[in-house]
């Protein structure tokens, strides 16, 4: 996509918060936030919020949680506003300065959360819940704090770890984001951003895809020393802290963070591994359609079929709103508002982060970043991110602490909305368009099941090796290739050894991968129940219960919320049922391809 085309796509609105990064009101609000953080520190000291501190009275709990909620409520729009500039132009010096200022003034919040966890972890939880309305409102937070407290270091060590994170793992993650967003490569005599090179993976011409792939690998190879240092820095810190906190392995802390237990992860991943031969049938069928014995990595995103629909951004927004409204007026109205009020920064451009995300803004509003290209896949991405925004809207009446949602559940609404769009496209498709839609569905599912599992295997192996020493770029490449071979099997001639450099997920939360698989399969399971409710004329009841689930993702764990729909997350049968939906799509795909 040319720069001119990118400029024609909508950009998100920011002036509803501040006129710009140099707005005096922004400066004043940052100063107010600094004062509120300092006041919160004073409250924690006065109340005795620390390990071995004073007992939690009703009044003390009200002051502490009320103060923290107030600070977090002020922080959300400030962080969103500054992020809106940092993520769309990494070269914006003032934006980087403001983000640095915000990071520094919120630095005490990490140690304060550690102190709160230690304090709550020592309380008589049942007595506290019986005495305090505030405690009952925050019961999930309190019970999770008890679990976290079992794995805390000494107060001094926790304080130091929290204060060092922005300049440690956080700094390495920032380096990866800023550095990788500015990388360019040489393609057929033209200098292109690496994100544009990766976008050529969807070109119908294999020669274009192959040359772009080769050019992309050269970019990552030239950047490998910097990015390997960043990954070693992030994983070294996380692994050291996990061991110091007494976790049995690097996966264990992620289970707490993502809100599931090991039995659930084992059941889900067992089902995933049993599905890999089915996905390899999909890859084999796609290879046949491309006229090849086996695919290469640059063929994974190759288009198949033909869409009679021109998936411009405008056409995509109309389709999304129409299909959302077919599910419910509330969801349709939400999408219409997001488009009308310019919540979305749609087009790719130099200095802008790749991929897509949704972030909170103010009072139930969100802002969505994406890099649109004219495809159903991009429209599905739009629906996916709007699902996150809808989730934010439903949680808006909760306090910030009661909105905190693990990533496993954070993907529920996004996958559900994506499924609405893809199923609608498939229902109306025939002939070549049917192949196009099935390919879009299965390409996405393969990424979230097959590729995500390779990322999990890679990350687990990196943690194990990194405990011994820094890993060289070649060792990271070798581990990445091994992990891809474990999941893709012999379906591919070539692999992508530098995916560890491509994906920002490795540089943020540990195991920022399997929650996507959870979200897909949990979302498909819920959507299947919606189909049953619709057939029985009970869709309104389902919609009410589903919205209540989304509004409650900060109030209970995944297993408890799933039980409301009769789902046992530890049962392999549930995960197999969701994967059976995908298996049916693979059979349909094979029938079309022949």
pLDDT band at 509 (very low <50, low <70, confident <90, very high): confident
Q: How far apart are the first and last CA of the chain?
A: 34
Give the SS3 label for residue 222: helix
pLDDT band at 266 (very low <50, low <70, confident <90, very high): very high
337-365 as b/e: b if 16+ CB within 10 A? ebbeebbbbbbbbbebbbebebbbbbeeb
Give CA–CA dist 147/137, Å, rounded: 18
**Mean pLDDT calculated for residue range 238-242:** 96
Q: Quick one: what percent of the chain has pLDDT higher than 70?
A: 99
**pLDDT above 70 for 502:** yes
pLDDT (0 to 100) of residue 263: 98
DSSP H or E stretch at residue 328: none
Residue with tokens 């392995």: 249
pLDDT (0 to 100) of residue 231: 97
**pLDDT above 90 for 68:** yes
Structure tokens belonging to residue 48:
């005795």
Give CA–CA dist 160/234, Å, rounded: 16
pLDDT (0 to 100) of residue 355: 86
Give CA–CA dist 371/356, Å, rounded: 7
pLDDT, tens digit, for every residue of 167-197? 999 999 999 988 998 999 999 999 999 988 9
Q: What are the residues facing 218 on neighbouring strands? A: none
pLDDT, tens digit, for every residue of 455-488? 999 999 999 999 999 999 999 999 999 999 999 9
Give the SS3 label for residue 350: coil
Give CA–CA dist 158/145, Å, rounded: 14
Structure tokens belonging to residue 425:
């496209």
**Mean pLDDT calculated for residue range 212-218:** 98
Phi, psi of 369 (to 5 degrees): -105, 135
**pLDDT above 60 for 93:** yes
pLDDT band at 87 (very low <50, low <70, confident <90, very high): very high
**pLDDT above 90 for 250:** yes
Q: Where are the domains of the chain?
A: 3-167
pLDDT, tens digit, for every residue of 374-422? 889 999 999 999 999 999 999 999 999 999 999 999 989 999 999 999 9
pLDDT band at 353 (very low <50, low <70, confident <90, very high): confident
Contact 553, 395 (CB under 8 A): yes
pLDDT band at 2 (very low <50, low <70, confident <90, very high): very low
Contact 202, 302 (CB under 8 A): yes
**pLDDT above 80 for 4:** no
pLDDT band at 594 (very low <50, low <70, confident <90, very high): confident
Q: Please state at what angle helix 376-395 crosses helix 313-327, rounded to 10 degrees.
A: 50
**pLDDT above 90 for 264:** yes
pLDDT band at 5 (very low <50, low <70, confident <90, very high): very low
pLDDT (0 to 100) of residue 145: 95
DSSP assignments along 136-171, one per residue: HHTHHHHHHHHHHHTT---HHHHHHHHHHGGGTHHH
Let me know if 504 is exposed, middle or buried by CB neighbors in 10 A (0-12, 13-18, 19+): middle
pLDDT (0 to 100) of residue 6: 42
Structure tokens belonging to residue 275:
């599905």
Give CA–CA dist 47/54, Å, rounded: 7
**pLDDT above 70 for 247:** yes
DSSP H or E stretch at residue 366: strand 366-369
**pLDDT above 70 for 1:** no
pLDDT band at 448 (very low <50, low <70, confident <90, very high): very high
**pLDDT above 50 for 112:** yes
Residue 489 CA, chain-centre distance (Å), reads 26
pLDDT (0 to 100) of residue 195: 87
The CATH fold of domain 3-167: Butyryl-CoA Dehydrogenase, subunit A; domain 3 (1.20.140)
Give CA–CA dist 458/454, Å, rounded: 6
Residue 559 CA, chain-centre distance (Å), reads 20
């Amino acid at each position: 996509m040319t720069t001119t085309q990118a400029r024609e796509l909508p950009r998100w609105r920011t002036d509803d918060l501040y006129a710009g990064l140099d707005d005096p009101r922004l400066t004043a609000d940052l100063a107010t936030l600094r004062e509120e953080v300092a006041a919160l520190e004073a409250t924690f000291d006065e109340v005795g919020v620390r390990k071995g501190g004073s007992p939690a009275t009703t009044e003390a709990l009200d002051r502490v949680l009320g103060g923290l909620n107030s600070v977090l409520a002020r922080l959300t729009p400030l962080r969103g506003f500054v992020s809106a500039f940092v993520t769309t132009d990494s070269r914006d010096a003032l934006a980087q300065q403001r983000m640095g200022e915000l990071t520094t003034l919120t630095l005490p919040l990490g140690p304060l959360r550690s102190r709160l966890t230690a304090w709550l972890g020592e309380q008589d939880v049942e007595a506290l819940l019986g005495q305090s309305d505030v405690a009952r409102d925050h019961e999930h937070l309190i019970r999770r704090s008890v679990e976290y407290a079992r794995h805390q270091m000494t107060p001094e060590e926790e304080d130091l770890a929290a204060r060092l994170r922005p300049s440690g793992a956080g700094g390495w993650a920032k380096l990866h984001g800023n550095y990788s967003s500015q990388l360019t490569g040489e393609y057929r005599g033209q200098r292109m951003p690496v994100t544009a090179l990766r976008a050529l993976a969807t070109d119908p011409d294999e020669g274009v895809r192959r040359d772009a792939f080769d050019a992309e690998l050269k970019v990552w190879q030239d950047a490998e020393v910097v990015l390997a240092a960043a990954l070693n820095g992030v994983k070294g810190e996380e692994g050291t802290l996990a061991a110091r906190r007494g976790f049995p392995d690097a996966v264990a802390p992620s289970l707490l963070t993502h809100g599931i237990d090991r039995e659930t992860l084992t059941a889900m991943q067992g089902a995933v591994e049993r599905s890999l031969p089915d996905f390899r049938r999909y890859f084999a069928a796609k290879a046949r359609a491309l006229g090849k014995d086996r695919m290469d990595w640059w063929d994974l995103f190759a288009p198949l079929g033909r869409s009679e629909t021109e998936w411009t951004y405008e056409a995509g927004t109309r389709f999304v709103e129409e299909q959302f409204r077919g599910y419910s007026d509330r969801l349709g109205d939400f999408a219409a508002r997001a488009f009308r009020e310019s919540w979305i920064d749609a087009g790719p451009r130099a200095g802008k982060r790749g991929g897509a995300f949704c972030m909170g803004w103010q009072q139930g509003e969100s802002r969505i970043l994406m890099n649109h290209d004219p495809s159903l896949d991009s429209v599905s991405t739009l629906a996916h991110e709007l699902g996150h925004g809808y989730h934010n809207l439903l949680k808006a009446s909760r306090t910030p602490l009661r909105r905190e949602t693990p990533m496993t559940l954070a993907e529920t609404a996004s996958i559900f909305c994506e499924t609405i769009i893809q199923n609608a496209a498939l229902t109306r498709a025939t002939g070549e368009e049917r192949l196009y839609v099935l390919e879009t569905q299965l390409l996405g599912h393969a990424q979230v099941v097959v590729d995500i599992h390779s990322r999990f295997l890679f990350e687990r192996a990196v943690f194990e090796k990194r405990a011994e020493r820094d890993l060289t770029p070649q060792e990271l490449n070798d581990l990445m290739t091994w992990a891809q071979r474990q999941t893709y099997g012999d379906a591919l001639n070539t692999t992508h050894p530098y995916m560890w450099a491509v994906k920002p997920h490795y540089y943020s939360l540990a195991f920022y991968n399997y929650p996507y698989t959870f979200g897909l399969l949990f979302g498909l399971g819920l959507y299947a129940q919606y189909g049953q409710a619709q057939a029985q004329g009970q869709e309104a009841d389902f919609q009410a219960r589903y919205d209540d689930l989304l509004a409650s993702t900060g109030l209970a764990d995944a297993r408890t919320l799933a039980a409301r729909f009769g789902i046992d997350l530890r049962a392999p049968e549930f995960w197999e049922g969701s994967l059976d939906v995908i298996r049916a799509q693979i059979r349909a795909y094979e029938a079309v391809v022949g």
